Chains A and B, each alone.
Chain A
Amino acid sequence: MTATALAFSRVSMEFPGVKALDDVSFGVAAGSVHALVGENGAGKSTLLKILSGAYTPSGGSLMIDGQPRVFTSTADALAAGVAVIYQELHLVPEMSVAENLFLGHLPQRLGLVNRKQLADAARKQLDLIGEQIEPSTKVGRLPLAQRQMVEIAKALTRGARIIAFDEPTSSLSDREVRRLFTIIRELKARGCAILYVSHRMEEIFELCDAITILRDGRHVETGALGAFSRDKVVQRMVGRELANIYNYAPRPHAGAGLVVEGVCGPGLAEPCSFAAEAGEIFGFFGLIGAGRSELLRLLYGAVKKTAGRVTFAGRELAIASPRDAIGAGVVLCPEDRKKEGVIPIRSVLENTNLSARRRHARGGILIDENWEHANATRRVEQLRVKTPSLRQLIRNLSGGNQQKVILGRWLSETVKVILLDEPTRGIDVGAKSEIYAIMQDLARQGVCVIIVSSELPEVLGVSDRIAVMRQGRIAAILDRADASEEKLLKLALPVETARAS
């Protein structure tokens, strides 16, 4: 039995109106990867923020190597060998990789930063995790996966022995996920204690040694992962059985729907055409950067298309802006909810009604408070958004619950076509199955549902037909019956790589 490197002892955390954590105790062994799972809003991120010193718990304590510790800042935690790698990374985009690595203790001589020494030291650190990044590159220029690597290198630079990851893979491509796992395994071999938060069961069962399950801020169970099956984890997480989360049922299609002909624009290598019937769930699979999000943005009018025609039920849709799109019944749940979805400092109510309130205003001008309240209440109930009140600022909700509010925003509109860009990213299994059910419901009502997803099981599980995109073009469109993981992956891989292998 290895030593317990980190222990939470009766940790509680209260926010106004919310008990985010309630008497949580468990330990993480050195040299192990410990999964932390739970539904959206279960308190995982809050626990990590306590670990990093961003929050001070309202009760209980942290034990590092058996010693109770209190962190009042991230610098404190780092000094004690604790690093938390958040999903939104905390690097300074304007600074170089090297400067970020040594931020706060740059090698100095007489108060001047020694560039050469800095670059050398940085290169050494990056080599440790096998990363070839030029230390003078500005962090803002790096793709997300590499930024994450820099963040890990930074943690190691400070000698971190306890490293926590909050949903690190949610925006990584498959290959990047592999790299990350290799590094995590290496850290483990070096005796680090790793706390790993994710909603992806496959990852957890592949990577982790132990697991802790939280529900509604309470500790449910901790144990060696070997003692758990997938179903058991899910059952403990959501508190009920979840048989088949996709619950796919064929639906009759309701005839002519969205027809896209020769649409061109930035991000697309050639004109794109496809047709999705009303009542159909049409999936888009592809690697990150294949042009799927770009295509959706063109259809939505967020980016102006340079050519092409879009019709619904035979009628041309003249869409030059998102506003036109919404008017025509076309809505988009964007991929990056933080940047493009939520208005962080406004309430759940306002974020829900953000779009539909225009059409429900009295005389088109005056806010209809009654409607606003009723609608927000209805969406919060329908999607089971976990929030203490409608007045809560949306930035105080957990990531998954923010996503639900954005879905609720579009359910408040009368939609003909709903474009979903990675709609279940960062969403727990229970909520996922609810979202799939909603998609099927919409389709049954004759809505044309278009979903972009990088998760193979998801596209395969929900779609009637699947288009695979590769390098800015639609490579193929497959029927549900013809599609398999291998086929989709093969079609999605860039041509050069496919030939080489």
Chain B
Amino acid sequence: MPTASRKTLSAFLDKAGMLVVLAILFLGCALGVDNFFSWANMKGLTLAVSMTGMVSCTMLFCLAAGDFDLSIGSVVACSGMLAAVVMNHTGSVALGVLAGLGLGALVGLFNGFIVARLKINALITTLATMQIVRGLGYETNHGNSIGITQEGFFWLGSSSFFGIPTPVWITALCFAAFGFLLNRTVFGRDALAVGGNPEAAHLAGISVERIKITIFTLQGIMAAFAGIVLASRVTSGQPKTSEGFELEVISACVLGGVSLTGGVGSMAFVIAGVFIMGIVQNAMSLLNLDSFHQYIVRGSILLAAVLFDRWKRRRGAA
């Protein structure tokens, strides 16, 4: 009898994993941290995770297919800069946004081509493009930030519907769309198969190259979009912004149980990962912890998550 109930409990933990951790963390913070569970803080919290959330959608695909993308932080900065410059020069918000997205698509396509076609390790490829694109961001305006003059553009970052900021709505939409893409479409399943065993996937008639290139391109576009939303929120293009953003996104995915060796990933868990990171950050700010403590805490959480995952798998195998 006790073993039976322990079995069902551990099976439940296996299934629900990070969702349980998230729930406990949320309850703990709501009870233990003053001002945490207030409307204003909830709004701030969701807004703060909205960018990580968006980009983790595509990063999930990238990791699931067995790849990596370190260039996203640079794309965020560079696309914001480019959008700002184009907007200021042409006076057209649409053109600016298109230019930013176009840049993201190009970087992604380039990454994908090098990784999938030329079979160069994704870590190295995107480590290179990360620096190149960061540099391009600085080049755009001699290393300075640019204030955006088109006020119509600020709507994107500052408006809200039913009291919820637009970027949060967008992120929610992305969660739904990419979750659907992963679970319900041939493309999503094929991406997981490619990550699980590229050789077998290829021999089963899956176009491994095309899938990888598509994923990198989507990733670039998504990062660029996040950069544009950010530019709208801060009303300027910032070449220095989002350094280390790629690690934040990858951490959230790993926390959400996405395997770095590919083949495994679920949207619900990634969402949990994003929020766990966000809540911890938020609670630490509310508790007035210094930012350098925050680094240590974040790193430790990530390590704990990975160890937990490994322990779970070991026990599953035995």
Residues of A within 8 A of B (CB): 16, 55-56, 300, 302, 321-323, 325-327, 332, 334, 339-346, 350, 354-355, 357-358, 361, 364-367, 409
> Do residues A340 and B199 form an inter-chain contact, with CB atoms below 8 A?
yes
> Do residues B204 and A409 form an inter-chain contact, with CB atoms below 8 A?
yes
Q: Give the docked Cα–Cα distance between A342 and B263 (Å).
A: 12
Cβ of B207 under 8 Å from chain A: yes
Contact among B185, B205, B259 for A367, CB-based, below 8 A: B185
Query: Which residues of chain A are within 8 angstroms of B187 by Cβ–Cβ distance?
Result: 365
> Do residues A343 and B196 form an inter-chain contact, with CB atoms below 8 A?
yes
Check A355/B204 contact, CB under 8 A, given A344-B197, A346-B192. yes
Query: Which residues of chain A are within 8 angstroms of B204 by Cβ–Cβ distance?
Result: 322, 326, 354-355, 409
> Do residues B264 and A322 form an inter-chain contact, with CB atoms below 8 A?
no
Q: Which residue of B lies closest to A394 (CB)?
A: B196
A327 to chain B, nearest CB (A): 8
Q: Give the docked Cα–Cα distance between A365 and B181 (Å).
A: 9
State how many residues of chain B have any CB contact under 8 Å with chain A. 24
> Do residues A341 and B200 form an inter-chain contact, with CB atoms below 8 A?
yes
- Binary interface encoding of chain B residues 194-217 relative to chain A, with 1 for a CB under 8 A from any of its CBs, else 0: 001101111111110000000000
Q: Give the docked Cα–Cα distance between A409 and B201 (Å).
A: 12
Query: Which residues of chain B are within 8 angstroms of A346 by Cβ–Cβ distance?
Result: 192-193, 196, 263
> Do residues A365 and B197 form an inter-chain contact, with CB atoms below 8 A?
no
Cβ of B298 under 8 Å from chain A: no
Cβ of B186 under 8 Å from chain A: yes
Query: Which residues of chain A are within 8 angstroms of B201 by Cβ–Cβ distance?
Result: 343, 354
Query: Which residues of chain A are within 8 angstroms of B192 by Cβ–Cβ distance?
Result: 343, 346, 350
A391 to chain B, nearest CB (A): 12
A-B contact pairs, 21 of them (CB 8 A): A55-B318, A302-B202, A321-B207, A322-B204, A323-B205, A326-B204, A334-B203, A340-B199, A341-B200, A341-B203, A343-B192, A343-B197, A344-B196, A346-B193, A346-B263, A354-B206, A355-B204, A364-B186, A365-B187, A366-B184, A367-B189
B311 to chain A, nearest CB (A): 15
A332 to chain B, nearest CB (A): 7
Cβ of B11 under 8 Å from chain A: yes
B203 to chain A, nearest CB (A): 5
CB interface residues, B 248-271, toward A, < 8 Å: 259, 263-264
A297 to chain B, nearest CB (A): 9
B189 to chain A, nearest CB (A): 6
> Do residues A361 and B186 form an inter-chain contact, with CB atoms below 8 A?
yes
Check A323/B197 contact, CB under 8 A, given A56-B318, A366-B184, A367-B189. no
A498 to chain B, nearest CB (A): 35
Q: Give the docked Cα–Cα distance between A193 and B110 (Å).
A: 59
**B contact face: mostly helix, strand, loop, or mixed:** helix
Q: Give the docked Cα–Cα distance between A302 and B202 (Å).
A: 8
Check A357/B318 contact, CB under 8 A, given A326-B205, A345-B196. no
Which of B185, B196, B263 has its CB near the most chain A CB atoms (within 10 A)? B196
A409 to chain B, nearest CB (A): 7
> Do residues A358 and B200 form an inter-chain contact, with CB atoms below 8 A?
no
Query: Which residues of chain B are within 8 angstroms of A56 by Cβ–Cβ distance?
Result: 318
Query: Which residues of chain B are within 8 angstroms of A354 by Cβ–Cβ distance?
Result: 193, 201, 204, 206
> Do residues A302 and B203 form an inter-chain contact, with CB atoms below 8 A?
yes
Q: Give the docked Cα–Cα distance between A224 and B186 (Å).
A: 54
Q: Which residue of A lies closest to B183 (CB)?
A: A367
> Do residues B203 and A332 form an inter-chain contact, with CB atoms below 8 A?
yes
A363 to chain B, nearest CB (A): 10
Query: Which residues of chain A are within 8 angstroms of B193 by Cβ–Cβ distance?
Result: 343, 346, 350, 354
Query: Which residues of chain A are within 8 angstroms of B264 by Cβ–Cβ distance?
Result: 345
Q: Which residue of B lies closest to A354 (CB)?
A: B204
Q: Give the docked Cα–Cα distance between A342 and B186 (Å).
A: 17
Query: Which residues of chain A are within 8 angstroms of B206 by Cβ–Cβ distance?
Result: 323, 354-355
Q: Give the docked Cα–Cα distance between A364 and B192 (Å).
A: 18
Residues of B within 8 A of A (CB): 11, 183-187, 189, 192-193, 196-197, 199-207, 259, 263-264, 318
Query: Which residues of chain A are within 8 angstroms of B202 by Cβ–Cβ distance?
Result: 302, 322
Query: Which residues of chain B are within 8 angstroms of A345 by Cβ–Cβ distance?
Result: 196, 259, 263-264
Query: Which residues of chain B are within 8 angstroms of A355 by Cβ–Cβ distance?
Result: 204-206
| 9 A-B pairs with least C-beta separation | A343-B196, A323-B205, A326-B205, A354-B204, A345-B263, A355-B204, A343-B197, A361-B186, A343-B193
Q: Which residue of B lies closest to A358 (CB)?
A: B186
B116 to chain A, nearest CB (A): 14
Q: Give the docked Cα–Cα distance between A367 and B11 (Å).
A: 27
Known: A341-B200, A367-B183. 19 other contacts (CB 8 A): A302-B202, A323-B207, A325-B205, A326-B204, A339-B197, A343-B193, A345-B196, A345-B259, A345-B263, A345-B264, A350-B189, A354-B206, A357-B189, A358-B186, A358-B205, A365-B186, A365-B187, A367-B185, A367-B189
Query: Which residues of chain A are within 8 angstroms of B197 by Cβ–Cβ distance?
Result: 339, 342-344
Query: Which residues of chain A are within 8 angstroms of B196 by Cβ–Cβ distance?
Result: 343-346
Query: Which residues of chain B are within 8 angstroms of A55 by Cβ–Cβ distance?
Result: 318
Check A366/B200 contact, CB under 8 A, given A326-B205, A345-B263, A350-B193. no
Q: Which residue of A lies closest to B187 (CB)?
A: A365
Q: Give the docked Cα–Cα distance between A354 and B206 (Å).
A: 8
> Do residues A365 and B185 form an inter-chain contact, with CB atoms below 8 A?
yes
Q: Which residue of A lies closest to B262 (CB)?
A: A345
Q: Give the docked Cα–Cα distance between A342 and B202 (Å).
A: 11
A333 to chain B, nearest CB (A): 10
Q: Which residue of B lies closest to A72 (CB)?
A: B318
Q: Give the docked Cα–Cα distance between A141 and B267 (Å).
A: 41
Which of A55, A326, A367, A409 has its CB near the most chain B CB atoms (within 10 A)? A367
Q: Which residue of A lies closest to B181 (CB)?
A: A365
Q: Give the docked Cα–Cα distance between A56 and B318 (Å).
A: 7
A421 to chain B, nearest CB (A): 11
Query: Which residues of chain A are within 8 angstroms of B318 by Cβ–Cβ distance?
Result: 55-56
B78 to chain A, nearest CB (A): 32
B317 to chain A, nearest CB (A): 8
Q: Which residue of B lies closest to A55 (CB)?
A: B318
Q: Which residue of A lies closest to B201 (CB)?
A: A343
Query: Which residues of chain B are within 8 angstroms of A302 by Cβ–Cβ distance?
Result: 202-203
Query: Which residues of chain B are within 8 angstroms of A366 by Cβ–Cβ distance?
Result: 184-186
Q: Which residue of B lies closest to A332 (CB)?
A: B203
Contact among B183, B186, B200 for A343, CB-based, below 8 A: B200
Q: Give the docked Cα–Cα distance between A16 and B202 (Å).
A: 31
A397 to chain B, nearest CB (A): 14
> Do residues B186 and A357 form an inter-chain contact, with CB atoms below 8 A?
yes
Q: Which residue of B lies closest to A365 (CB)?
A: B185
Query: Which residues of chain B are within 8 angstroms of A343 by Cβ–Cβ distance?
Result: 192-193, 196-197, 200-201, 263
Check A16/B186 contact, CB under 8 A, given A323-B206, A342-B197, A354-B201. no
Q: Give the docked Cα–Cα distance between A367 and B191 (Å).
A: 13
A132 to chain B, nearest CB (A): 33
Contact among B189, B200, B263 for A339, CB-based, below 8 A: B200
Query: Which residues of chain B are within 8 angstroms of A321 by Cβ–Cβ distance?
Result: 205, 207
> Do residues A16 and B205 form an inter-chain contact, with CB atoms below 8 A?
no
Query: Which residues of chain A are within 8 angstroms of B200 by Cβ–Cβ distance?
Result: 339-343
> Do residues B203 and A16 form an inter-chain contact, with CB atoms below 8 A?
no
Q: Give the docked Cα–Cα distance between A342 and B192 (Å).
A: 13
Q: Give the docked Cα–Cα distance between A357 and B197 (Å).
A: 17
Query: Which residues of chain B are within 8 angstroms of A350 by Cβ–Cβ distance?
Result: 189, 192-193
Q: Which residue of A lies closest to B186 (CB)?
A: A361
Q: Give the docked Cα–Cα distance between A56 and B157 (Å).
A: 56
> Do residues A322 and B186 form an inter-chain contact, with CB atoms below 8 A?
no
